[in-house]
Structure 1
Amino acid sequence: MERGIGGETAPAAARAVARDADPRDKAGMIRAAAIALLAAALPLAACAPGGPVEGASAAPAEALAQARWPAAPPVRAVMLVVHGYGDYAETLLGEVAPFWAASGIEVRAYDQRGFGRNASRGAWPGAEALISDFAAQARAARADHPDLPLIALGHSLGGGVVLAALGEGRAPEVDGAVLLAPAIGGGPHINGFMRAGMWAMTTLIPDRRLSGEGIVRIQASDNVPALRALAADPLYLAKPTPREMQGLVRIMDRAEAAAGAVEVPLLIALGARDEVVDNADVRAVAAKLPRPPDLRDYSEGWHLLLRDLGRRAVWEDVRDWVLARAP
């Protein structure tokens, strides 16, 4: 039996920390439980040989799965979409992309390396590979449409990838970006205790898929049928590994560090009921942007803003923001 904080088992420690958290702060309770779970691995870390690397190996060359929704003429803008953790292009955009395309926005998307329909599904490629892939996709979109505005849209992990790439000067072809519930709260917003626990887990069990069952319960949307569909989708990657969680943190770190160099206009959309990302951290990172972003709050929004029951308002706001930058 693995021992945790104060001699408790990991689940017991997690419940104890969550019990002491402010019950009105649901996100805080979830983070507290996660910290306790991660800390349970710390006593074993001293016995682990060497430190982990983020990716199992250098990401091999791979033709990434693509999805496109041609726009109804006249075509006014191009949107390049980057999905979040576990997701893939067709399931994220299957409902909303035709809506945007009908308004003259060509929607292009790809399954990120390690996810969806790619042969690499389930193998974390590393932060650098994900950012490089986005940069390559942006170059291809610009080559196909040299005279149209190119707007990137990133959800969750995808938002971190987009912001990091823009701030690091990796995607100069992009004219603006939409970040939906973005995973960008890295750097000082992730404490050292959490980082130490993450390192320990990645050292000990880097590729074990974790459910968190019995420790934390996170609801991603109020659209229950959509959640059930994702749960039944064999291509949806629901349970992260410690290696993937550490990789996500590295994306968030790079996004936070690069935010001060992002010059293009941004729309940032947040759901008030989001239990996955910390909206306060997102706002703190947004405050570093040289150009104040268009920040939208959705009082009934959750993490899956494009799938929530109130998704139509998000769809329309994204459409209007993109077309406002089109000729």
Structure 2
Amino acid sequence: MNKALWAALSVLLAGMLAACAPTVRPAGPPIAQTSLGNDAFYASDGTALAVQSWGDQETPDAVVLALHGMGDYANAFMEFGEQIGPAGIAVYAFDQRGFGRSISRPFWAGISSMVNDASDMLMLLRARYPDTSLYLMGNSMGGAVAIITAATRPYLMDGLVLVAPAVWDRDQMPWYQTAPLSVLSHSLPWLPLTGQGLDIWPSDNIEMLRRLSRDHNMMSAVRVDVIAGVADLMDLARSRATDITVPTLLLSGIEDQVIPPAAVAALDRDLVGLDLPAYHRCLYDDGYHMLLRDLNGPVVIDDIYRWIMRSAPDQNYSCRGS
């Protein structure tokens, strides 16, 4: 949609701004002990969130909790888990509230609920593996959740991995995108946005994209208020990134058509300025948004594996695929 149409849409819908507030379905009050089963993570409000895991579950060399992106679910890390799991890494992922197989789909859960879920899952994994290094990894929207979790609760993890993180805040967006979003999120929160016609390619792995299109656990459309919620999440993640203190690996692709490379570059500049222990950035010339599932995905995954398995935080490290 061009600027003129965005502007016209903003004017047309401005009068409807107060008609209907965005729907948020956060976690309920804590009524149960959190627990981790074979197929589900039971949150403090009793909600069961589907879990998938890969690799050595008994005596792993390291543990990774992975948070998926918008419209996706835990299976987003299938390729990652199948490649890195046999190498001695235990990988866990769960369907975040409002996505995948969660009972609150397709509603936005709110930032606090998502960060609390990630934190509770980290605590459960820390209790299960008290002497094993534990890493939080976030992909796209999950990267934004991971940033806030790391910034506010660094004691829960030994390191942070950000894969094409959603850090495109409103200050970096043109007005003709932010204005209609504000209006739509308050006036037509039920309106689904499919992304069709935007001519955006999230990956160069066409067969993988075709497979995902047939997966009913994927969300082919999301509500406008979910988009608004993700925009709020990106804003907060961008502002809290400067509070990160744990070792961090940032990975992104020059061909990313979902999160502008300039937005990730701005995050990189902030992280460099923090003088973090073991901070590295991997930038892939042929990388799209879905880095772990791109055709170059195996190389990206190997770069993450080598960073996790480095023998010391200050060990010399370089990305092989960038």
- TM-score normalised per structure 2: 0.84
Q: 1:253 aligns with which of 235, 251, 276?
A: 235
Residue 98 of structure 1 and its aligned partner are, at CA, apart by: 2.3
Residue 312 of structure 1 and its aligned partner are, at CA, apart by: 1.1
Contact 2:21-2:186 within 8 A present in 1 as well? yes
1:221 correspondence with 2:207 = no
Q: 1:296 aligns with which of 282, 287, 306?
A: 282
Residue 262 of structure 1 and its aligned partner are, at CA, apart by: 0.3
Structure 1 residues 39 and 265 mapped into 2: Cα distance closer, same or farther (>3 Å)?
Answer: farther
| Corresponding residue number in structure 2 for 1:126 | 110
Structure 1 residues 138 and 73 mapped into 2: Cα distance closer, same or farther (>3 Å)?
Answer: closer
- TM-score normalised per structure 1: 0.83
For 1:218 and 1:273, the matched residues in 2 are separated by: 11
SS in 1 for 2:162: strand
1:59 corresponds to which letter in structure 2? Answer: A
1:196 corresponds to which letter in structure 2? Answer: A
1:82 correspondence with 2:67 = yes
Contact 1:39-1:197 within 8 A present in 2 as well? no
| Corresponding residue number in structure 2 for 1:312 | 298
Residue 211 of structure 1 and its aligned partner are, at CA, apart by: 2.2
Contact 2:54-2:82 within 8 A present in 1 as well? yes
| Corresponding residue number in structure 2 for 1:48 | 17
For 1:51 and 1:42, the matched residues in 2 are separated by: 17
Structure 2 counterparts to residues 1-327 of structure 1, below 5 A: 14=1, 16-17=2-3, 36-37=5-6, 40-49=9-18, 52-53=21-22, 55-60=23-28, 61=45, 62-71=47-56, 75-90=60-75, 92-167=76-151, 169-186=152-169, 188-214=171-197, 216-289=198-271, 290-291=274-275, 293-324=279-310
RMSD: 2.2
1:163 corresponds to which letter in structure 2? Answer: I
Identity between Structure 1 and Structure 2 (%):
32
1:151 corresponds to which letter in structure 2? Answer: Y
Residue 96 of structure 1 and its aligned partner are, at CA, apart by: 2.3
Contact 1:52-1:199 within 8 A present in 2 as well? no
Structure 1 residues 37 and 325 mapped into 2: Cα distance closer, same or farther (>3 Å)?
Answer: farther
Residue 205 of structure 1 and its aligned partner are, at CA, apart by: 1.1
What runs of 5+ residues in structure 2 fail to find an aligned partner?
29-44, 314-322
- How many residue pairs match? The answer is 292
Contact 1:45-1:203 within 8 A present in 2 as well? no
